[in-house]
Amino acid sequence: MRLIRSTEHSPEQNLALEEFLYRNRPDGVTLLIYRNAPSVICGRNQNPWQEADTLWCRANGVPVLRRLSGGGTVYHDLGNVNYAFFVPRTDYEPDKFVGIAVAALRSLGVKAVMQGQHSIWAEGRKLSGSAFALNGKCAMLHGCILAETELERLSRALRRRPDITYEGASVTSVPAPVVNAITLSPQATTDAVEKSLIASAVQLLGEMESCLLDVDLTTLTTKYTSPEWTWEHTSEFKVTRTLPDGSCIFLEVASGRVAQTNSLYDESMLH
């Protein structure tokens, strides 16, 4: 098994690194671990305007990005441990790989359990979600573990505006109560969760070889910083905004741009 620990905190670069490994390393098992600066990461088939308070995110320097895999939207910061397993398609067993994260948390005194769509919960609150991508040769399963995340900023970044409703085919995240691992066990610091995750992987999968990658990720990083991927990739949708006087504005949006409106509208609705 290979271990790659990214020293970058750029969410764009780490998303690019995930895609590079997904496209180029289908042989054996590779574990990537990284931490991102504050950012909102949407699933491949989601509407970022619907999933995040994009105005707040822009004002507070929190980029909103779209990842390669499906699933729901997550908030990352340096108190969040992100992991990704890359395995041959024939060896894809999501229970096994999420189970590694469960075992890691349990070893730190957190009463973690796997439930639902391979998410991790403890004492009625969610600690971690996961998502996957599959191609002909490779499977990627990745997840994020809340260790010492700033939950107030998480809640604020992912807050949905009550004055705006959306209609469309995009996958919508299911809200859940969340908790940091360190709240449940003082041993479960961010560093400790990362170390325990590696130890749990070694215990289940065997010896691990640390690897350094010397690859040019410029093209892939540009993809993840581009409005074409994050915003214009969104499927067509309709927006209704209720104004303070009770009147409504209706928009139709295609490829990230307003295609039709029945009234004057405020462009801040989409930024």
pTM above 0.85, yes or no: yes
pLDDT band at 261 (very low <50, low <70, confident <90, very high): confident
Residue 157 has pLDDT above 80, yes or no: yes
Asked if 42 and 79 sit in the same domain, the reply is yes
pLDDT at position 162 over 70? yes
Higher pLDDT, 271 or 70: 70
Task: Give the model confidence (pLDDT) of 42-53 as tens digits.
Answer: 999 999 999 999
Which range of residues forms the domain containing residue 154? Answer: 2-226
Q: Is residue 39 part of a domain?
A: yes
CA distance to 66, 89, 213, per residue, from 50 (Å): 13, 32, 36
Query: Is the confidence at residue 236, as pLDDT, over 80?
Result: yes
CATH number assigned to the domain comprising residue 161: 3.30.930.10
Closest CA to 159 of 265, 34, 261, 62: 62
User: Could you read off the pLDDT of 113-125 as tens digits, one per residue?
Assistant: 999 889 999 999 9
pLDDT of residue 268: 55
> Who's near 214: CB < 8 A, 6+ residues apart?
none
Residues 125 and 180 in one domain: yes
Do 208 and 75 fall within a single domain? yes
Do 90 and 108 share a domain, yes or no?
yes
**β-bridge mates for residue 120, sequence order:** 114, 128
Q: Examine the domain organization and report whether 248 and 139 are in the same domain.
A: no
Do 79 and 135 lie in one domain? The reply is: yes
Q: How many domains does the chain have?
A: 2
Inside any domain, residue 148 = yes
Is residue 105 very low, low, confident or very high in pLDDT (cuts 50, 70, 90)?
very high
89 in the same domain as 32 = yes
Q: What is the dihedral of CA 209, 212, 218, 219, to 10 degrees?
A: -30
Whole-number pLDDT of residue 213 = 85
Host H or E run for residue 44: none
Q: Return d(Cα 83, Cα 77) in angstroms, integer.
A: 14
Residue 231 domain-assigned? Answer: no
Query: Following DSSP, what letter does each residue of 214-258 receive, concatenated?
Result: ----HHHHHHHH-HHHHTTTSPPEEEEEE-TTS-EEEEEEETTEE
